[in-house]
Amino acid sequence: MSVIEAVILGIIQGLTEFLPVSSSGHLEIAKFLFNDGKLPKDSLLITVVLHAATALSTIVVFRKDIVEILKGLFQFKWNEETKYSLKIVLSMIPAAIIGLFYNDAIEMLYDGQVKLVGFMLLITGILLFLADRAKVTEKGVSFSSSLIIGLAQAIAILPGISRSGATISTSVLLGIDRGKAARFSFLMVIPLILGKMAKDILDGALVKPDVPLMAISAGFISAFFVGLMACTLMISLVKKSKLKYFAYYCFLIGLIAIFFLG
């Protein structure tokens, strides 16, 4: 993998991890356009590095929220921070179960399935369009809604279904305040990203690094800084009910993938 390819993948990861347009779907399309079937899987290490970069950017943006949650946990009291932490844990369960027991089946979907990506992007677009038209409320995340949002996150394992798009849209359609929906969506993915990174490392991501250090560094830096901007921008756009523009984008890219790339 070259430095340029690593930077491009970092930019794609940084943007699409937070913007509701599907990082997995765009990586599949990038693979097709580069005409390189190995690109997204070129190295388990580069996958870990890019996810670490976007996880770090999320932690930086929500550092105050994370500190408050951790303080609540270490106080061993049944307070709002403890409840919020448990809601995040609850939201992780569906995706964790699918990742643990159906990983091989999921991997088969990430093998040049550009047409599948196109159809899933259309579904993402529909979700975003519906959420953009939902009534504005000030409702918070409940225990039951956190599990439903977690199911949406599990479905977003499919390439082309945006994780942030699915979770934020589901939250808004459940009547949750848009700002609270974005906050919960980004915080709930941090433990999953860290868990996936740990699994990849145990699977040998650091044993035989097959990507040059320069490429690894370039990918991390691009993913981190682009992720910072995308995360901040997405929070603002969700609050301003601008999801429909991402819906139009998903419709466009989805149709291109189906009729021209598939």
Q: pLDDT digits over 15-32, tens only?
A: 888 889 887 788 778 777
Q: pLDDT digits over 118-159, tens only?
A: 999 999 999 999 998 888 888 999 999 999 999 999 999 888
Predicted TM-score (pTM) of the model is 0.86
What's the pLDDT at 40?
46
Q: How confident is the model at residue 104 (pLDDT cuts 50, 70, 90)?
A: confident
Q: pLDDT digits over 198-242, tens only?
A: 877 777 656 656 678 898 899 999 999 999 999 999 988 888 878
What's the pLDDT at 262?
63
Percent of the chain topping pLDDT 90:
40
The residue type found at 4 is I
* Average pLDDT, rounded, for the chain: 85
Indicate if the pLDDT at residue 43 is higher than 60. Answer: no
Q: d(Cα 178, Cα 241) in Å, to the nearest integer? A: 8
Reference 116, options 23, 37, 28; nearest CA is 28
DSSP 126-164: HHHHHHHTSPP--B---HHHHHHHHHHHHHTTSTTS-HH
What's the pLDDT at 131?
92
> Mean pLDDT, to the nearest integer, of 161-171?
93
Q: d(Cα 86, Cα 5) in Å, to the nearest integer? A: 39
What's the pLDDT at 206?
63
What's the pLDDT at 195?
82
Percent of the chain topping pLDDT 70:
90
Q: d(Cα 82, Cα 86) in Å, to the nearest integer? A: 6
Helices 143-155 and 178-200: crossing angle in degrees, nearest 10, is 50
The residue type found at 163 is R
